[in-house]
C-alpha cells in the first residue's frame, strides 16, 4: 500500500510539474490567444482574411528590425539604431529618385548607407570598446539629426509617380503571396540557418554566453560582436526598404514607430526560448506578431493612438515580469 501511495504521489508531482512548465513556458502564447479571443469578440472583422493580411504586412516591416535587435541581444548588447537606419534608408531611396537617379542606383546607395551605420556601430563597440547602449544611442542622435538636416527640418520627400519596382516591393505578389511576406520568409530562414546551423552562428552565441570561455577557445570575440551589429543594420535596411515602398515617400523619424516594437519582440524571444533565455529567430518573429496584433486590434476597436503606446508599455512590463518569474522557476527546478 505504501509503495502504491508513493507511486500515486510521484505521478501527481509529475503532472503538477508538467502543468507548471506549461503555464510558465507557455504563458505568453496563452496570453496571446486570450488577446485574439477578446479582439475577435469585440470586432467581427478582426479574424477576416484582409485584416490578418494587414497584420502580417506590418510584421514584414517590424520583423527585420527586430531580428537586428535580436542579433545584438545574442552578444549581450542592445541596439537602438534600427529606427534611424530605416529612416535613413527611406530618405536615401526617395532622395536619389527625386535627384534623377534610377531606382536600382538609389536602392544600392540606401544599402550602403545602412551598411555604413552598421560599420560605425560595430567599430564603436568592438574596437573602441564602448558600452552598446551609449554607442547606439549616440548613433541614433546623429542619425536623427541627419534625417532632419537633409529634409530641412523634417519635411517628407514625396515621389510621384512612384517607380514601379519600388511599388512592387510592398504591393506586388508572387503566386498570390505578397512580396513582403516572401521577403520575410527568406530573411527568417536565412537567419535561422546562420544562427542555428552554421559555425558562425554557434560562435556568436558562444561569445554572448561567455566571453572568457570563447577567448580561451580561440574565438575572435571582437569580430563576432562587430558582425552582430553589422548584420543588425543590414536587417534594419530590409525593413526600411519595405517601409519606403509602403508609404512611397521618405519621412524623417518614421522608423522610430517600429523601433520599440522591434525591441519588445526581440526580448520576448528570450522568454519563448527553452534554452537558457537565448534570443532566437522564431521567438522574435512571434514577438512581432504579438505587437502587430495588439496595435491592429486597438485600431479596430477605435481606441486612440496614445493608448496604443500605453498597451505596448504594459506588454513590455508583462514580458519583464514573466521573464523574472521564469528565471525563479528555473532556479527552483535546478535546486
Q: Tens of pLDDT along 308-332?
A: 778 777 777 776 777 666 666 666 6
**pLDDT in tens for each of the 335 residues of the chain?**
555 445 544 555 555 555 555 555 566 777 788 888 988 998 889 999 999 999 999 999 999 999 999 999 999 999 999 999 999 999 999 999 999 999 999 999 999 999 999 999 999 999 999 999 999 999 999 999 999 998 888 788 888 888 999 999 999 999 889 999 999 999 999 999 999 999 999 999 999 888 889 999 899 999 999 999 999 999 999 999 999 999 999 888 888 888 888 998 898 888 776 666 788 999 999 999 988 998 898 888 887 777 777 877 777 777 677 766 666 666 665 55
As a whole number of angstroms, the distance between CA 211 and CA 195 comes to 18
CA atoms within 13 A on the CB side of 219: 21
Q: Is 100 helix (H, G, I), strand (E, B) or coil?
A: coil
Rounded CA-CA distance 69/78 in Å is 7
Cell of 168: 512592387
Is domain 34-327 given the CATH code 1.10.3470.10 in the classification? yes
| DSSP-based three-state secondary structure for 157 | strand
Q: Where are the domains of the chain?
A: 34-327
DSSP output for 159-188:
-SSPPHHHHHHHH-EETTEEHHHHHHHHHH
C-alpha 96/C-alpha 158 separation (Å) is 12
The answer to whether 292 and 58 are in contact (CB under 8 A) is: yes
Amino acid at each position: 500500500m505504501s509503495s502504491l501511495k508513493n507511486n500515486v504521489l510521484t505521478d501527481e508531482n509529475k503532472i503538477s510539474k508538467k502543468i507548471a512548465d506549461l503555464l510558465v513556458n507557455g504563458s505568453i502564447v496563452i496570453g496571446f490567444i486570450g488577446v485574439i479571443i477578446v479582439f475577435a469578440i469585440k470586432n467581427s472583422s478582426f479574424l477576416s482574411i484582409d485584416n490578418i493580411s494587414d497584420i502580417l504586412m506590418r510584421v514584414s516591416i517590424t520583423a527585420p528590425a527586430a531580428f537586428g535587435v535580436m542579433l545584438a541581444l545574442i552578444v549581450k548588447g542592445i541596439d537602438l539604431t534600427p529606427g534611424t537606419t530605416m529612416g535613413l534608408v527611406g530618405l536615401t531611396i526617395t532622395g536619389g529618385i527625386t535627384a534623377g537617379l534610377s531606382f536600382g542606383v538609389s536602392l544600392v546607395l540606401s544599402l550602403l548607407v545602412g551598411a555604413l551605420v552598421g560599420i560605425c556601430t560595430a567599430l564603436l563597440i568592438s574596437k573602441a570598446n564602448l558600452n552598446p547602449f551609449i554607442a547606439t544611442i549616440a548613433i541614433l542622435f546623429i542619425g536623427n539629426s541627419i534625417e532632419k538636416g537633409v529634409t530641412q527640418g523634417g519635411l517628407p520627400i514625396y515621389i510621384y509617380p512612384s517607380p514601379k519596382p519600388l511599388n512592387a516591393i510592398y504591393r506586388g505578389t508572387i503566386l498570390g503571396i505578397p512580396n513582403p511576406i516572401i521577403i520575410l520568409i527568406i530573411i527568417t530562414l536565412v537567419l535561422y540557418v546562420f544562427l542555428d546551423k552554421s559555425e558562425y552562428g554557434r560562435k556568436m552565441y558562444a561569445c554572448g554566453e561567455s566571453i572568457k570561455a570563447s577567448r580561451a577557445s580561440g574565438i575572435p570575440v571582437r569580430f563576432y560582436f562587430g558582425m552582430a551589429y553589422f548584420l543588425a543594420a543590414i536587417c534594419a535596411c530590409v525593413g526600411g526598404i519595405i517601409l519606403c515602398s509602403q508609404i512611397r515617400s521618405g519621412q524623417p523619424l518614421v522608423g522610430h514607430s517600429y523601433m520599440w516594437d522591434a525591441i519588445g519582440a526581440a526580448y520576448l524571444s528570450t522568454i519563448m526560448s527553452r534554452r537558457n533565455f537565448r534570443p532566437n529567430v522564431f521567438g522574435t518573429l512571434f514577438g512581432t506578431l504579438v505587437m502587430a496584433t495588439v496595435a491592429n486590434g486597438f485600431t479596430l476597436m477605435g481606441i486612440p493612438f496614445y493608448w496604443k503606446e500605453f498597451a505596448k508599455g504594459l506588454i513590455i512590463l508583462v514580458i519583464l515580469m514573466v521573464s523574472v518569474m521564469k528565471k525563479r522557476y528555473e532556479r527552483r527546478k535546478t535546486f
